[in-house]
Amino acid sequence: MGNIIEANASTFDNLLTNELPVVIDFWAPWCGPCRMLSPVVDEIANELEGKIVVAKCNVDENQDLAMRYGVMSIPTVVMLKGGTEAMRSVGAIPKPKLKADIEANL
C-alpha cells in the first residue's frame, strides 16, 4: 500500500528533500470534486509506489502552503521534482489522465 503523507507546516520542508518526485493533492473536506479525486490519488500512490511520494494537503488547515504554490481552486495536484514544480492538474480529472501526466514527468 502506498504511503500517503499528510502535508502540513511541520512535514512540508522534509517532503521537499525527498529524492523521489513528490505529488501533492491540495484538497478540503467540504469539496465534492476533492472527495471524488481522493481515491484516484490513493490508487495512483499504490500503483507508482517506489517511483513517487504522495502527500495530501488540507488547504483549510494549511492556507500558507496553498498560497505558496498558487493554489486558486481545488482539487489541485502539483508534482515537485527537486522542489521545483514539474506538473500541475486542476479539477477532478479521470485517473488515466492524471496517472499519464504524472508518469510523463517522472
Which residues are part of the catalytic machinery?
Answer: 31, 34
DSSP class of 14: H
Q: State the Cα–Cα distance between residues 39 and 18, nearest whole angstrom.
A: 23
Helices in the chain by DSSP H: which ranges? 12-16, 32-47, 63-68, 95-104
